[in-house]
Amino acid sequence: MAQVLEFRLPDLGEGLTEAEIVRWLVEVGDVVAVDQPVVEVETAKAMVDIPCPYAGVVTARFGEEGRELPVGAPLLTVAVGAPATGAETEGSGNVLVGYGTSEAPARRRRVRPTPPTTPAGQPAGMAANGAATRKGTATAEHAPAPGVARPVGTAAGHGPAGHGPDVAPADEENRSEGPVPVISPLVRRLAREHGLDLRELHGSGPDGLILRADVEYALRAAEVRGRTAQPPAEPHPRVTPTTPAPSAAAPPTQAPVRSSAPLGGIRTPLKGIRGAVADKLSRSRREIPDATCWVDADATELMRARTAMNAAGGPKISLLALLARISTAALARFPELNATVDMEAREVIQLDHVHLGFAAQTERGLVVPVVRDAHARDAESLTAEFARLTEAARGGTLTPAELTGGTFTLNNYGVFGVDGSTPIINHPEAAMLGVGRIIPKPWVHEGELAVRQVVELSLTFDHRVCDGGTAGGFLRYVADCVEHPAVLLRTL
């Protein structure tokens, strides 16, 4: 006998406590296999496809697209066949944290097919005897016009021609409990943006499927009802030479009344990536006593060196990769800045590996992918890894592991056309190097005024891990490498 197993939103790791449903990959009634992706969710870190640990038939889905669910909330239920042995009830052993698929959940129920009922509530077989005598009149009086969808709450005779009356209350109760017959995410988004409950619509597609035309019609109908419900505006009084103007008999001035209504404007929920960024930056400001120092550097020789590298053939070297190579060399000289602070133990922990984060602005918001073991990579390897992570960030496919674990961050805000910034440290790191735009500026070179490619560098650091002398030494070494790239030859 079939059993219904409940699959809950698993713990995706990295301290994530909730996820937003982006797109369902299965419908109610679909047959799924073990480890088949069933839903796409967006966490505060990345987009993730969630695989199902059970094989069977999907009997229910919990949550509409766009809804946030906490970890542990039901995602869907799957009807599986009766196991012959205990081994068949074992889960998939999928590697996502918190699946708990080693045994079946305690909540189980049997799948009982519900016989179709007539509007009077009788089973179809019992009502068949008297159906022939009433078929002619019932069809004409109660059947809605085919191919047309409308809101449930629209009274008969009040909609456009061709729309039938409301459905029976029993049908309404079934619709409120069952899944919404919508496939297209565009239809769901259109309804969500206009505050329309899809459960109040009857679809004109196959098997009652709600189409975009159904949603658009319901919105037009609601607009028509809203206009007819508004009272007519009072006509302006006519002013004639013999009739005094209404302002002449104006009442005495009254004190203004303060309204307790909420302020208008656009309200955007702080959730997903935007919410994670807000929480992390707020924590950084609360916990880290940061300071910032600046220096201008002549980047002309660095730009020439990059041009020479790319002219020699092979993969092109990015400017970001050269700056990353300079940063790892500077951290080798000043390891105090590749650290984190453990306030519970009241210790500063210097880290022996450099996992370099870099700020990347995407359509989904600011993300900081992490290049693992950046200190052990050359310019070509850094260029390739930056390109891979940037492409994944733009596509929203970064994994939580690729967005966490950084020890130092490189922030190239010069791509926005600005010179300087005082960035907020990426908690729990201890420092961030900022790079402004590289532009021609007058510069004293070898005792003469010349036009050179100048960049502004800034270092924001945690004052708990070091003093200004260490931070200044780090930034000065970075500037020296930018001005004289041959300095790096000492550490290659």
Query: Active site residue: 142, 194, 353, 463, which one?
Result: 463
Active-site annotation holds for 467: yes
* CB contact set of 77 (below 8 Å; sequence gap of 6+): 4, 5, 6, 7, 58, 59, 60
- Which helix (DSSP H) or strand (DSSP E) does residue 7 occupy? strand 3-8
Structural contact between residues 35 and 82, judged by C-beta atoms closer than 8 angstroms: no
Strand partners, 456: 296
Active-site annotation holds for 296: no
Residue with structure tokens 């370099």? 356
Strand partners, 455: 297
* CB contact set of 303 (below 8 Å; sequence gap of 6+): 319, 438, 453
Question: Strand locations in 343-447, DSSP E?
Answer: 347-350, 356-358, 360-362, 365-367, 370-371, 408-411, 431-435, 439-445
SS3 call for 239: coil
What are the angstrom distances between the C-alpha of 358 and each of 17, 227, 333?
25, 53, 21
Closest Cα partner for 355 from 429, 438, 448, 255?
A: 429
Query: Active site residue: 30, 373, 378, 467, which one?
Result: 467
Residues designated as active site: 463, 467
